[in-house]
Amino acid sequence: MPKRWIFCKYDSNLARSISISTQISDLTAALLVARGIQTPDAADTFLNANVKNHLREPFLLPGCQEVAEHLLNAVKSKQKIVIYGDYDVDGITGIVILRQILKDLGADADYYVPSRFDEGYGLHSEAIIKLAQNGTNVIVTVDCGIASIEEAKTAAEYGVKLLITDHHTPKAELPNATAITHPQLVRFMGKWVSPQSLTPKEIGLAEKYPFPLLCGSAVALKVAWALGQLAFNGRGKPVPPQFRERLTEMLGLAALGTVADFVPLQDENRALVRSGLQYLYSPKSSIGIKQLFAVAKYVEGKTRLDSEYAAFQLSPRLNAAGRLGQAGLAVELLICNDLKRATELAKEIDELNESRKMLEKRIAKEAEQQIHDQFDSVNDSAFVLAGDWHCGVIGIVAGRLADMFHRPVILLGKDKMGNIPAVGSARSVAGFNLYGALESCRRFLIRFGGHEAAAGLTIDETKIDAFRTAFCNIVAEQITEEERIAELSIDGIFPLGAFTRSTVEQILSLAPFGCANPRPIFAAEKILVQNAKTMGKDNNHFSAEFYQGSVVLRGVAFNRRNWFDEMQPFHKPIDIAFKVRISDFNRQVELDILDWKRSEI
């Protein structure tokens, strides 16, 4: 679909001032200013963020001390502790962090991961009852539980202490748990409460945590840190070197969870990812973690271990286990120190990831065919598609189709026998409140949940057609013609000659890239294309040489085979939008081509 190029505006005088003060290039300074960095001090903090100087003490986190104290008491009294975590990477890494620290302290600690298909996300009363009957005294959640009002009652009924560590948006009423730690809670009238329960005036008077956007594994790391301090020398005191080393190892897992959960890479999250990923692969990493890197084709000293490698190579493999109903394998792999078993687990998880990719590919092909057969891909406002599709991966496909067509997309996985409701995943586009649209269509749905950008739902198959009509009508009423055109935010227009290796290295110093800190996008005008070809196992990707005067740079466009056919008969200059990188193979500057259009004469 065509895109509207939007060029970022910034104060060039401010950028020049920061460039001189921090001794960075004008281009890099302009990128910082465009990201809201307004002073040399802020630029220095951004460029040099690290956990030593920018990760806040754990006892500042709302409820962290209370949760840590209850856990320590459970350890000392030999109570059975179960860590109950979500089945995504954020939950899995958080489980491993807490389990390792508790085991180091001599705890009787186990873990529980619900099945995506049999149980679904979050705490479940049936699981709590089963754990209680098996002798569990304490359940500590990771990445879930903040909305578990009824489940907290079940835990109390069965005599189980429930400790909640979570980061999802709390509702006005909090579960009546033994203790809760959550970065968005506020202290009002001496108690930790949900900000949703307060008036604007009361929120203004409440005590708040400075950075409320931590992910679940980062919250787990804070609890582990607090637990270590309490267990050894007390709050605010140094911990023994051995325990400090263990916490340092856990930084890598918390960084991986942070990248995988798409929380903003700002403030503490930026510091955690920027300096934490380096600890993920180290001599002290578990054999299981090293085997995960092995199947992800990591070559020490050559492969760049950054947020993008974590997001596109490590996270999908761990997530594949959860998406296909076997998240426990991912936890086992990360904690495994037996070479034979770790090798088996890594291979199995890699195979699950390949199965996941094959499922996605098939579903994407069938879904695109439905769009072409049943919809007007240019004029229709939204797509609601249904098929015999695996519900563990339809969310990924829905997101890609929403990006491709710039429309809200809902994919519904139907049961082949028609005996159970269809399960759906929905993804939106900027500016459209997906949750609000589903709320308006709730009469057709069995259940639904989510937020403005993404949601899940279940629906009786007999109501799909009526739901499709109602949902598409709502989208048509609320999205304007202008909003149907995707926008590409571009940081600036520069000649290709500006992207020397040293300049690109400095641009890369803005990493880690991800949510709220995307890799910069540039444009270049009047470019000639030569030696275009398709590449990849299925020839799905496009590559070419891009010329501007005497400068030539290789560029690649992934999953854009159609560009080969479109550019072949077109021999006039084009404008390109792209990201820059340095090849791991030959250390030369290369372009990731995102879009192109004919140059204006």
**231-234 — which CB contacts under 8 Å span 24+ positions?**
231/72, 231/75, 231/105
* Residue 239 confidence (pLDDT) above 90: no
What architecture is the 54-279 domain classified under in CATH?
A: Alpha-Beta Complex (3.90)
Q: Does 2.40.50.460 match the CATH number of domain 3-48+488-598?
A: yes
Q: How many CA atoms lie within 13 A of 289 on its CB side?
A: 20
Amino acid 106 reads G
Q: What is the pLDDT of residue 248?
A: 93
pLDDT digits (tens, 9 = 90+) for 424-442: 999 998 888 898 999 999 9
Q: Output the DSSP codes for 103-117.
A: HHTT-EEEEE---TT
3-state DSSP: the chain helix, strand, coil percent, rounded to 5?
45, 20, 35
Find out whether 324 and 356 touch, Cβ atoms under 8 Å.
Answer: yes
* b (16+ CB within 10 A) / e for 41-65: eebebbbebebeebbeebeebbbbb
Tell me what the mean pLDDT of segment 62-73 comes to.
97
Share of the chain above pLDDT 90, in %: 75
Helical (H) or strand (E) element with 67: helix 64-76
Share of the chain above pLDDT 70, in %: 98
Output DSSP code: residue 514.
B
Amino acid 72 reads L
Q: Which residues are paired to 537 by β-bridges?
A: none
Residues of the chain with CATH 2.40.50.460: 3-48+488-598
Tell me what the mean pLDDT of segment 256-276 comes to.
94
Q: What is the pLDDT of residue 538?
A: 80
Q: Which of 114-123, 167-176, 543-552 has the lowest average pLDDT? A: 114-123
In this predicted model, which residue has the larger pLDDT, 417 or 52? 52
Output DSSP code: residue 408.
-
Find out whether 114 and 87 touch, Cβ atoms under 8 Å.
Answer: yes
- State both tokens at 242: 């051995």
Q: How many CB atoms lie within 10 A of CB 308?
A: 16
* Residue 291 confidence (pLDDT) above 60: yes
pTM given for the model = 0.90
Alpha-carbon span 556 to 533, nearest angstrom: 10
* Residue 417 confidence (pLDDT) above 70: no
Scanning 186-277, the segments in alpha helix (DSSP H) are 200-205, 216-231, 241-260, 267-276
Tell me whether residue 221 is exposed, middle or buried, using C-beta atoms within 10 angstroms of its C-beta: 0 to 12, 13 to 18, 19 or more.
buried
Backbone angles phi, psi at 385, to 5 degrees: -120, 150
Mean pLDDT for all residues in the chain? 92
Alpha-carbon span 380 to 433, nearest angstrom: 17
pLDDT digits (tens, 9 = 90+) for 16-47: 999 999 888 888 999 999 888 999 999 999 99
Residues of the chain with CATH 3.90.1640.30: 54-279
Q: What is the pLDDT of residue 547?
A: 94
Q: Give the residue from 554, 558, 552, 553 showing the smallest Cα distance to 535.
A: 558
Residue matched to tokens 């997906």: 434
Query: Max alpha carbon distance in the chain (Å)?
Result: 79
Alpha-carbon span 440 to 470, nearest angstrom: 9
Q: What is the pLDDT of residue 414?
A: 86
Backbone angles phi, psi at 66, to 5 degrees: -60, -45
pLDDT digits (tens, 9 = 90+) for 179-190: 999 999 999 999
Q: Tell me which fold the domain 375-484 belongs to.
A: Diaminopimelate Epimerase; Chain A, domain 1 (3.10.310)
Backbone angles phi, psi at 382, to 5 degrees: -160, 165
Find out whether 425 and 450 touch, Cβ atoms under 8 Å.
Answer: no
Helical (H) or strand (E) element with 594: strand 589-598
Q: What is the pLDDT of residue 99?
A: 97
Angle at 452 between CA 446 and CA 453, to 5 degrees: 100
Q: What is the pLDDT of residue 35?
A: 87
Find out whether 396 and 422 touch, Cβ atoms under 8 Å.
Answer: no
Asked, as a colleague might, if the bond just before 512 is cis with ω within 30 of 0, I would say yes
338 Cβ partners below 8 Å, 6+ apart?
Answer: 287
Tell me what the mean pLDDT of segment 314-324 comes to.
93
* b (16+ CB within 10 A) / e for 322-348: bbbbbbbbbbbbbbbeeeeebbebbeb
* Residue 233 confidence (pLDDT) above 60: yes
